Amino acid sequence: MKRWKITALLLCFLLLMSSVCVWADAAGSSIPADRQMERLVDRAGLLTESEEKKLLQKLNEISERQQCDVAIVTVDSLEGKSAKDYADDFYDYNGYGMGAGDDGILLLIAMNSRDWAVSTYGFGIRAFTDAGQDYIMDQVLPDLSDGDYAEAFSGFADLCSDFLAQARSGKAYDVGNMPKKPLSLLWIPGALGIGAAIALIILQVMKSSLKTVTMKQDADQYIRPGSMVLSKKQDRFMYSHVSKTEIPRDTGSSGGGSSTHTSSSGRSHGGSSGKF
């Protein structure tokens, strides 16, 4: 009788452990209600401690002010996934996103393969259109390629702040409505050189205009003004010509907006990816 009780207890224990394992597996594949990690996860070790602290403060401030998560994640390996899938899964299964719509944007950097990916969700899909993501990454990629990661990530955060503010105003940055790109410092020497050349030409013209006493080549220069009076004047209209050019209408064929795809969790994400 005693042996039977021990066997029953062992079976109950095994059933309990099996239930715990099943629950753990289910929990690992579910989407958490709250964010599980910081908005900056530097697993590849690209930033110094001071750079990481400063950047995390910026990401937190922007996210709270705009009520939309702005996150940056660096890893060494994509673990067999595509950069897009890795970014989507990291966003979903770590509970990123603010508000009822889980609004946010995440930038993923994978060092071994030199991949980058952007994943957007909720309001982030509206705020960061396909053209907007292209614009942002065009600004960020030069610093990424040069290994200036702190500058690249800080620039990404600042641009996200600007894009979110623009989207909150009712008209997100998109095709035909993009911010002006900053002028390169290389233009400064060129502009100074052009300015100096124009100034030199003006001075030469002014100098030559001072030489007014010159020899006249014919008598026309000596005719007294007003000495010749016309006795009859007449205006006669000959013909007119009007040239018309049709201005093509904007049919909206230039595209715009955000394309979406379905992640492994079944949710619709926006985003883009590439190499650096």
Give 176-235 pLDDT, tens digit per residue.
999 976 544 444 454 455 555 565 666 565 556 655 555 656 556 655 666 656 566 666
Q: What is the CA radius of gyration of the chain?
A: 34
Residue 156 domain-assigned (yes or no): yes
Residue 263 domain-assigned (yes or no): no
> Tokens 């989207």 map to which residue?
167
Residue 103 domain-assigned (yes or no): yes
257-268: b (≥16 Cβ within 10 Å) or e: ebeeeebeeebe
Residue 235 domain-assigned (yes or no): no
Give 24-82 pLDDT, tens digit per residue.
333 346 899 999 999 999 999 999 999 999 999 999 999 999 999 999 999 999 999 99
Q: What is the CATH number of the domain that holds 92?
A: 3.10.310.50
Which residues, other chains included, contact 29 with Cβ-Cβ below 8 Å and sequence gap of 6+?
93
Q: Cα separation of 65 and 35, whole Å?
A: 17
Q: Cα separation of 191 and 255, whole Å?
A: 35
User: Does pLDDT of 260 surpass 50?
Assistant: yes
Task: Compute the mean pLDDT over every residue in the chain, rounded to the nearest whole number.
Answer: 80
Residue 250 domain-assigned (yes or no): no
Lowest mean pLDDT among 14-23, 99-108, 225-234: 14-23
Percent of the chain clearing pLDDT 90 (strictly above): 60
Residue 143 domain-assigned (yes or no): yes
- Of the pLDDT bands very low, low, confident and very high (cuts 50, 70, 90), residue 96 is very high
Element (H, E) at 220: none
Q: Copy the structure tokens of residue 180.
A: 């002006």
User: Does pLDDT of 94 surpass 50?
Assistant: yes
Residue 72 domain-assigned (yes or no): yes
Residue 96 domain-assigned (yes or no): yes
Asked if residue 104 lies in contact with residue 70, where contact means CB atoms within 8 angstroms, the answer is yes
Q: What range does the domain containing 153 cover?
A: 40-182+269-275
The number of folded domains in the chain is 1
Asked if residue 128 lies in contact with residue 68, where contact means CB atoms within 8 angstroms, the answer is no
